[in-house]
Structure 1
Amino acid sequence: MRLSPTQVQRIQVEMNAEAIPEQHAITPDLQRTFGDHTFFLDGEGLAIVEASAEDSHVGNVVKVARWADADHTTLKIQTPQPTPLQVELDREDDQETPAARCSRR
């Protein structure tokens, strides 16, 4: 799932991760491989947020690739692995921009 800038900022803080900008040269390759998502890099590898099957207001953080080297220069695709991190997607106020709240399962 693609996230709003507000959601991205909140998730980056909670995950201690960096979002890969949509304009980055690698983004089209990631989208071909994993679909239309906002992608996050952290110390463990590459993650995405997928909509929860149980609640449309919740997203689950899923690891889709891990670092293949100690220098964090190469990613190795892995079987998608759900993490304990869930992201609550809702509106902060009457504005059109959704917000995200993160919690651990």
Structure 2
Amino acid sequence: MKLNSTQVERALSQFDAHCLPDDHPAVSQLNRLFGDHTYFLDTNGLNVLEPSESTETDTQIGKIVNLAHWSDDTLTNLMPHEPEPTGVIVSLGSKH
């Protein structure tokens, strides 16, 4: 899921991570591997936000999915794996 700047701010207020800017050199390669997403890095690795159904019809929510874990203690190398839900749900606000 590709997020706009307001959605990124809302997500980061609920999820302790850093967002990779669209002009980051790794984003084009990540898009080829995983699709067009907004990418987040945290202590567990590389994550994206996937849309999720909300019980409130006017609220857009998403779930954080981990795509790659850090493969070293210095958090510089990522090891891709099958997408893993993290259990973290974020509210992106109104659908309107």
Q: Give TM-score scaled by structure 1 length.
A: 0.79
Deviation at 1:2, TM superposition (A): 0.5
Match of 1:75 in 2: 78
Output the CA distance in 1 between the equivalents of 2:37 and 2:74: 25
Percent of aligned pairs with the same amino acid = 40
Gaps of 5+ in 1: 92-97, 99-105
Instruction: Give the drift of 1:9.
Output: 1.5
Structure 2: stretches of 5+ with no match in the other structure: none
Q: How many residues align?
A: 91
Out of 58-67 and 10-19, give the one that drifted further: 10-19
TM-score relative to the length of structure 2:
0.85
Counterpart mapping for 1:12-91 below 5 A: 12-52=12-52, 54-55=53-54, 57-91=60-94
Ranges of 4+ aligned residues in structure 1 off by more than 6 Å = none
- Rounded to whole Å, the distance in 1 between the matches of 2:91 and 2:15 is 14
Task: Report how far residue 40 of structure 1 moved.
Answer: 0.2
